[in-house]
């Protein structure tokens, strides 16, 4: 993958990254026990914020994460069983595109963060 982004891609990456940095953990706290793909979702987050991740990969990942956060998607997240289906499809497509970039350390950090998040949501 090339390291260069077009100006439009760079602008979208900036918007998506800002949204993810602002809202990711808050949305995750609300839905953490409702989605089966939470481990992959948080691993993608840690891959996206890793300085070693190539810029094109970051653009794909932040786009998928921003889609997860945005409350207006194809299937509203409040719909039982189906609400996160479109989010899962977007995340799956992103992972298939960039899977070699998700490193074991991203998965370890995700597991640690989820353990903390789930413990704090019980208390």
* Averaged pLDDT for residues 2-22: 89
Query: Model confidence over 19-75: pLDDT tens digits?
Result: 999 999 988 888 777 777 889 999 999 999 999 999 999 999 999 999 888 866 544
Q: Which of 5-9, 22-26, 50-54, 87-91 has the highest mean pLDDT?
A: 50-54
Residue 79 has pLDDT above 60, yes or no: no
pLDDT at 82: 52
Query: Model confidence over 92-118: pLDDT tens digits?
Result: 888 888 999 999 999 999 999 999 988
78 alpha-carbon distance from chain centroid = 18
pLDDT at 88: 78
Q: Taking Cα atoms as reference points, which of 36, 120, 19, 18 lies closest to residue 85?
A: 36
* Domains in the chain: boundaries: 7-122
Burial 77-98 (b: 16+ CB within 10 A, else e): beeeeebbebbeebbeebbeeb
């Amino acid at each position: 993958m090339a390291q260069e982004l077009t100006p439009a891609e760079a602008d979208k990456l900036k918007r998506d990254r800002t949204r993810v940095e602002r809202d990711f953990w808050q949305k995750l706290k609300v839905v953490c026990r409702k989605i089966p793909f939470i481990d992959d979702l948080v691993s993608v987050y840690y891959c996206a914020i890793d300085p070693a991740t190539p810029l094109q990969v970051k653009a794909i990942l932040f786009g998928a994460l921003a889609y997860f956060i945005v409350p207006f998607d194809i299937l509203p997240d409040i719909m039982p069983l189906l609400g996160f289906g479109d989010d899962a499809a977007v995340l799956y497509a992103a992972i298939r595109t960039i899977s070699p970039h998700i490193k074991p350390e991203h998965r370890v950090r995700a597991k640690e963060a989820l353990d903390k998040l789930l413990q704090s949501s019980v208390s």
